[in-house]
């Protein structure tokens, strides 16, 4: 079964509970395991984003007291509040379930329970589990994924018709049980009312002294309830994250999925294995992503654009047919047919209008570069408005900080068709009106009228025979030693 479940299927609500209280000591980190980031999202957020399309009416994250109320915990996912249930003592997954069920008291429906490190679970797999659970009228359903039998995962012991008898841990399994391919994925669906009763029957009579969520199967069966094993999903979804090595492996899987989605939508990737693309990035058809690129945040790349090689874009909008080579951009907008780089740095607030160019070793910040204007190389242009058809010479600097004028940066305004010479400093606030020119090496401190040429540099003085006289003094000094 492949359809997605919804919160109103068969008139029942669906809640999602994510078990996120574990500290993850094997991560060797002060950061709780589920809050480690992967491609711009924490592990917990990956789970929540996968569950959100099931349209749950409520989402609960079971967290430890040290995590509760923390800034790193998501407060909502796509419009649904993420409630917090606190597991006060680390007494196992069954105790975490108990804490979450207390928060969901009164819910009329089912609860999908997922581990907080299950970043590789897909929406489709979650949906199949919920749908099979409801179709069977089950009180408990456990997800089993066929996988490598050498893995130390528990096994689902089920009958031929899918009734789940028990879940046995790998360490306790017989050779025949270890031969079973249906591995316990750690995802469950519970009838909320039945689970609220059954959870009281869990005990801690085991080597760890903990309450295990897997024992809910036995408790439900003894109460005469229907318990199902549901086979679904892909083996790679079994990977939980317990170490940094697991985290790196999960990132590779997630990145491959993201890239595959773009490829199927008509995007070209050269060497996709070298590229990082976060899930929030959108890329238009016939765009080309060259090796070594990192695309983050709300980056939007339009059709036909070429990015890379070795470009880093963080929340940058790229227009059609634009080209960005070996450059770094943050919170900027690049319009159609713009050329950027190599080695350009677009800082926040940069707007490059159609057919403009920012070239080699150019830095821009809070700047509007007009249509067809060029800053070819070796310049810093900050807090500036530049008209259309301008050429900013090599080595230009807009000196935008004037403390004697008060707090904040001062702005440079350049009209259409302006040409500045090489090695200019434009000391803001200053305006170069339409069609103005400036001479090479000038420091411009006053406005330049339209069509005028401004030259602001010291007059050149040549000292005749200077080199010969300097050599004579040097020879005289040597003779006296």
Catalytic residues: 377
467 class by beta-carbon count within 10 Å (0-12 exposed, 13-18 middle, 19+ buried): exposed
Select from 404, 392, 406, 337 the least CA-distant residue to 363: 392
67 touches 29 (CB < 8 A): no
Q: Please, are residues 157 and 170 in contact by the beta-carbon 8 Å criterion?
A: no
Asked if 384 and 401 count as a contact pair (C-beta separation under 8 A), the reply is no
CA triple 318-270-326, angle to 5 deg: 50
> How many angstroms separate the Cα of 313 from the Cα of each of 112, 276, 303?
37, 10, 16
Closest of 420, 417, 346, 428 to residue 387, by C-alpha: 417
**How far from chain centre, in Å, is Cα 458?**
52
| Helix, strand counts (H, E) of the chain | 8, 36
**Tokens 């693309």, residue located:** 277
Q: What is the DSSP string of 304-358?
A: T-EE-SS-EEES-EE-TT-EE-S-EEES-EE-TT-EE-SS-EE-TT-EE-TT-EE
CA dist 320 → 135, 304, 373, 460 (Å): 48, 5, 18, 48
By DSSP bridging, strand 80-86 and strand 76-77 are: antiparallel
Residue found by looking up tokens 């600097």 in the block:
397
Q: What whole-number distance in Å separates Cα of residue 373 and Cα of residue 319?
A: 16
Q: Residues 334, 318: contact at Cβ < 8 Å?
A: yes
Q: Please state, as a whole number, how many other Cβ atoms lie within 10 Å of the Cβ of residue 446.
A: 10
Tokens, residue 225: 């309830």
Record the tokens describing residue 428, joined without a space: 């803001």
Which residue do the tokens 């950027």 mark? 340
Q: Torsion angle, CA of 326/256/114/228, rounded to 10 degrees?
A: 170
Give the single-character DSSP code of 173.
-
- What 8-state DSSP symbol labels residue 290? -
């Amino acid at each position: 079964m492949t359809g997605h479940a919804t919160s109103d299927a068969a008139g029942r609500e669906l809640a999602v509970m994510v078990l996120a209280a574990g500290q993850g000591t094997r991560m060797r980190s002060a950061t709780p395991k589920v809050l480690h980031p992967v491609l711009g999202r924490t592990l917990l957020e990956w789970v929540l984003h996968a569950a959100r399309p099931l349209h749950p009416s409520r989402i609960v994250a079971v967290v430890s007291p040290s995590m509760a109320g923390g800034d790193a915990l998501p407060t909502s996912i796509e419009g649904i509040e993420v409630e917090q249930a606190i597991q006060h003592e680390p007494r196992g997954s069954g105790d975490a379930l108990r804490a979450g069920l207390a928060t969901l008291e009164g819910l009329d429906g089912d609860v999908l329970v997922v581990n907080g490190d299950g970043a590789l679970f897909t929406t489709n797999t979650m949906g199949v589990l919920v749908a099979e659970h409801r179709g069977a009228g089950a009180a408990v359903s456990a997800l089993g994924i066929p996988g490598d039998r050498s893995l130390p995962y528990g096994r689902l012991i089920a009958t031929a018709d899918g009734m789940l008898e028990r879940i046995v841990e790998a360490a306790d399994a017989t050779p025949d049980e270890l031969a079973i391919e249906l591995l316990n994925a750690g995802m469950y669906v519970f009838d909320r009312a039945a689970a609220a009763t059954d959870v009281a029957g869990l005990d801690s009579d085991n080597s760890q002294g903990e309450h295990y969520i897997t024992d809910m199967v036995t408790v439900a069966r003894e109460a005469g309830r229907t318990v199902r094993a549901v086979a679904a999903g892909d083996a790679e979804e079994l990977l939980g994250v317990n170490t940094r090595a697991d985290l790196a492996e999960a990132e590779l899987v997630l990145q491959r999925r993201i890239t595959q989605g773009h490829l199927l939508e008509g995007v070209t990737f050269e060497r996709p294995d070298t590229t990082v693309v976060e899930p929030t990035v959108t890329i238009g058809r016939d765009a080309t992503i060259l090796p070594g690129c990192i695309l983050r945040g709300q980056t939007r790349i339009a059709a036909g654009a070429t990015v890379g090689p070795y470009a880093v874009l963080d929340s940058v909008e790229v227009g059609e047919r634009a080209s960005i080579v070996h450059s770094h951009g943050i919170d900027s907008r690049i319009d159609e047919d713009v050329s950027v780089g190599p080695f350009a740095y677009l800082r926040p607030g940069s707007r490059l209008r159609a057919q403009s160019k920012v070239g080699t070793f150019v830095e821009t910040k809070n700047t509007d570069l007009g249509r067809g204007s060029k800053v070819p190389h070796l310049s810093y242009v900050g807090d500036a408005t530049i008209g259309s058809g301008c050429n900013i010479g090599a080595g230009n600097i807009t000196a935008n900080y004037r403390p004697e004028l008060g707090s904040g940066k001062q702005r440079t305004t350049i009209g259409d068709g302006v040409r500045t010479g090489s090695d200019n400093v434009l000391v803001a606030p200053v305006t170069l009106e339409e069609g103005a020119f400036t001479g090479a090496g000038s420091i411009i401190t006053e406005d330049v009228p339209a069509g005028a040429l401004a030259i602001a540099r010291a007059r050149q003085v040549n000292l005749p025979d200077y080199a010969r006289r300097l050599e004579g003094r040097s020879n005289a000094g040597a003779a006296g030693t």
